[in-house]
A and B are shown apart, each in its own frame.
Chain A
């Protein structure tokens, strides 16, 4: 019934923030979701401690992994969180109820995305501070590049979340349906271990995962070195990081386009029971 009209573009900023405030309140009241979205990252930060002092790819291992976490947190705060929110709202009928108001579709969904983004950005900010304070990190060499990668990641994973919610019958099952993307991205995006240790063919296919380009862009912007290359990443000059990351941005854009198409087909507003 919804077809390609699922994501019209009209956005009223006041209404958008009001939906986002509602979402924030609901997240705060739902402690399980809050823990998954906000607590999990804490565990990952703890994992950095034993890595501090070792060097991989010419940088401190804790910093290398920590910058990977900047991207990885997308999976919890944005992807899993939104897949659960969209599925729950649909199944409990609140999505349809909100659609009965003057709110546009973009404001209803965008409000959830905004809250998830704020939560994620807060985690990014905290982690960035922790990297500086505890692991000898620095201010990003090209913060705009890092933020651009993060923003692209938000778009892609918010869209992927709406696709996953569309194929998930109940809230409980979201924990299963998010797993393929979660596992693939956790294991294969170069966060847990550098992709350089793998055979070239595998490396190239893993670069096509939606999280990999985010990791590459974030690290390139943070360290000022070309992290899309292998071995010890060469330093890049002003603007050089952007050039080096063009293929990564292209992969992100492709994911966004594919996910948007899939979302327009799969996303549902009405509960499945009817």
Chain B
């Protein structure tokens, strides 16, 4: 059995003049959770729709479980679970009725009670869809996507609109499913969600992948930061150069803040150099802090910088 669940190569999608996806490539291995991150309009949902088989790839190649998800939808679709960003419900059906009808649409459905538990909606089994809260609807969404015991699950911003508790429960559910061997392709606005769940991720911006890899790899390329407020009696020009990196200076309300952005390997010697420099001059460095780069830093510097 092929170990690659999803393969996307040089995918391009246009809407008229606008190129929403401009040559995206990535692979997702079986049993892996892969996150697609990006600002609104980065091309995540368009990419996802091509992978789900909702639209044909205009150019490039998309393979899911070794097949073309659009042309061979009939063969692929039963093995996929899809949680849309905005899927509607039949407003007049109850939770249990919705699940029951859905179970009729797949070959080997999970039992109704198991799905109610997955959704955390056992007590809402008799409530009509129109009366469910936004977060409860998202949970029902997830349960419906899992009805047919899919091998590959697509989650398009699954926890948007959930309260923190439901978000936590959903993430735990997804993590358990991945542990049991499910392959997941996830898009999300919540970086901590990707940090927590994703084996690997890609950051998209303006239709392109601008960074990809494991969280450590993506973050690792972006440097750690040493920061302190410049003491009033120290001229900025006298600040040391650490491992070849000069201080970046920001002035805010009369206070200057120095920031050194160091590659991970240079962090410890860099900090040592700074402390020795301060020690020799008997200087206190107010507000001194050392931060590892976070996914948010990477995200903001790649995707967020221009928007």
Interface segment out of the listed B4-12, B90-98, B158-166, B255-263: B90-98
Contacts of A25 in B (CB 8 A): 93, 97, 101
CB nearest to B147 among chain A residues: A101
Chain A 84-111, CB-CB to B under 8 Å as 1, else 0, gives 0000010111101111111110000000
Query: Do the beta carbons of A1 and B55 come within 8 Å of each other?
Result: yes
Query: Do the beta carbons of A93 and B87 come within 8 Å of each other?
Result: yes
Q: Given the known A-B contacts A102-B106, A102-B148, are A97 and B84 also in contact in the complex, defined by CB atoms under 8 Å?
A: yes
Query: Do the beta carbons of B77 and A96 come within 8 Å of each other?
Result: no
Contacts of A98 in B (CB 8 A): 105
CB nearest to A93 among chain B residues: B88
Chain A interface helix/strand/loop/mixed? helix
Query: Do the beta carbons of A18 and B104 come within 8 Å of each other?
Result: yes
Query: Do the beta carbons of B77 and A101 come within 8 Å of each other?
Result: yes
Query: Do the beta carbons of B84 and A100 come within 8 Å of each other?
Result: yes
Chain A 1-18, CB-CB to B under 8 Å as 1, else 0, gives 100000000100001001
Find B93's partner among A19, A26, A91, A97 (CB 8 Å cutoff): A26
CB nearest to A94 among chain B residues: B88
* Complex CA–CA separation, A100 to B146 (angstroms): 11
A47 shortest CB reach to chain B, Å: 32
Q: Does A22 contact B (CB under 8 A)?
A: yes
Query: Do the beta carbons of B102 and A101 come within 8 Å of each other?
Result: yes
- Among A10, A18, A92, A101, chain B packs the most CB atoms within 10 A around the CB of A101
* Complex CA–CA separation, A42 to B90 (angstroms): 28
- Among A21, A103, A274, chain B packs the most CB atoms within 10 A around the CB of A103
Q: Does A205 contact B (CB under 8 A)?
A: no
Q: For chains A and B in complex, what number of residue pairs have CB atoms within 8 angstroms?
A: 73
Q: How many residues of B contact A (CB 8 A)?
A: 28
CB nearest to A3 among chain B residues: B56
Query: Do the beta carbons of B88 and A96 come within 8 Å of each other?
Result: yes
B92 shortest CB reach to chain A, Å: 4
Contacts of B104 in A (CB 8 A): 15, 18, 21-22
Contacts of B77 in A (CB 8 A): 101-102
Query: Do the beta carbons of A100 and B52 come within 8 Å of each other?
Result: yes
CB nearest to A90 among chain B residues: B88
Chain B 77-90, CB-CB to A under 8 Å as 1, else 0, gives 11000101011111
Q: Given the known A-B contacts A101-B102, A103-B105, are A274 and B93 also in contact in the complex, defined by CB atoms under 8 Å?
A: no
Query: Do the beta carbons of A18 and B105 come within 8 Å of each other?
Result: yes
- Among A93, A97, A104, chain B packs the most CB atoms within 10 A around the CB of A97
Query: Do the beta carbons of B105 and A102 come within 8 Å of each other?
Result: yes
Q: Given the known A-B contacts A18-B101, A94-B90, are A101 and B84 also in contact in the complex, defined by CB atoms under 8 Å?
A: no
Contacts of B86 in A (CB 8 A): 93, 271, 274
Contacts of B84 in A (CB 8 A): 93, 96-97, 100
Chain B 83-127, CB-CB to A under 8 Å as 1, else 0, gives 010111111110001000110111100000000000000000000
CB nearest to B52 among chain A residues: A100
* Complex CA–CA separation, A96 to B141 (angstroms): 13
Contacts of B90 in A (CB 8 A): 22, 26, 92, 94
A127 shortest CB reach to chain B, Å: 29
Find A15's partner among B52, B89, B102, B105 (CB 8 Å cutoff): B105
Contacts of B148 in A (CB 8 A): 101-102
B82 shortest CB reach to chain A, Å: 4
- Among B92, B97, B104, B148, chain A packs the most CB atoms within 10 A around the CB of B104
* Complex CA–CA separation, A274 to B49 (angstroms): 13
* Complex CA–CA separation, A89 to B92 (angstroms): 13
Query: Do the beta carbons of A101 and B106 come within 8 Å of each other?
Result: yes
B71 shortest CB reach to chain A, Å: 9
Given A92-B89, A96-B88, A104-B73, 14 additional A-B pairs, CB 8 A = A1-B55, A10-B74, A15-B105, A21-B101, A22-B101, A89-B88, A92-B88, A92-B90, A94-B87, A96-B54, A101-B102, A102-B78, A102-B105, A102-B148
24 sampled A-B residue pairs with Cβ under 8 A: A10-B74, A15-B105, A18-B105, A22-B90, A25-B93, A26-B92, A26-B93, A29-B92, A29-B93, A30-B92, A91-B88, A92-B89, A93-B84, A93-B88, A96-B84, A98-B105, A100-B52, A100-B145, A101-B102, A101-B105, A102-B74, A102-B105, A102-B107, A271-B86
* A interface residues (Cβ-Cβ under 8 A, vs B): 1, 10, 15, 18-19, 21-22, 25-26, 29-30, 89, 91-94, 96-104, 271, 274
* B interface residues (Cβ-Cβ under 8 A, vs A): 52, 54-56, 73-74, 77-78, 82, 84, 86-93, 97, 101-102, 104-107, 144-145, 148
